[in-house]
Structure 1
Amino acid sequence: MKGTLAVLALLLSGELGLQRGESVVTCPIFYEVFGALSLGSRTLLDGSLSTVNATPAEKEALGKVQDCYNEGGLTAKTLDLQAMTSITTSPECISHSLVTVKENLKSVLPIDR
């Protein structure tokens, strides 16, 4: 169940990013929703999901995931935090983030070559 929650959160972040059409916002949205999910507050979770116009069914589904997190207790939350840290600090993730930032800067700043 613990690994399933992390995978669900990753899938959610990808879907939210695609819906908004901006890959740049995917990462912050992911961490915002994942943080609210793992903190166990339904109010925080609903607020985070409202920023991306989540449907009531999506909010209900993630509320059920949050219930699983709360049942798992501190141990489950700690294990998922470790998994998220290892993903975020992986060379692949860092490389992708740097490439994305570089591309975004090129599109915004006029650079003569």
Structure 2
Amino acid sequence: MDYKALEGLLLGKKGAVLEYPFGPDAAVFKVAGKMFALVAWQEEPLRITLKSDPGEADELRRIFSAIQPGYYMNKNHWNTVTLDGSVPQELLLTMIEASYRLVVKGLRKAEREALG
């Protein structure tokens, strides 16, 4: 998946916005001000950091060498995925959806309701 396709997928999430709070090399995707994905968009291959359930995060790291503890993030709750083709696209899409849902779940009720 190239960056433009990934960006479109992430911005397709309800309420998602793109910001660059850490500088131009780190594309940060947020919902209601909370990050659900960070993409090192100038890296080759691309790297995406996603929020994960701690148990699932550990399991995925054991299975795929391209999935590592979140780079500069809480290692229990974030995974960094190197998009080198070794992680099936269906799994990547599931991980993106899970990250988004985990962040939305942590929002205040009014923020969740505003998303529809």
Both structures adopt the same fold (TM-score exceeding 0.5): no
Which structure has the higher relative contact order (CA within 8 Å, separation 6+)? 1
Greater helix proportion: 1
Structure number, greater radius of gyration: 1
Larger proportion of strand: 2
TM-score by length of 1: 0.31
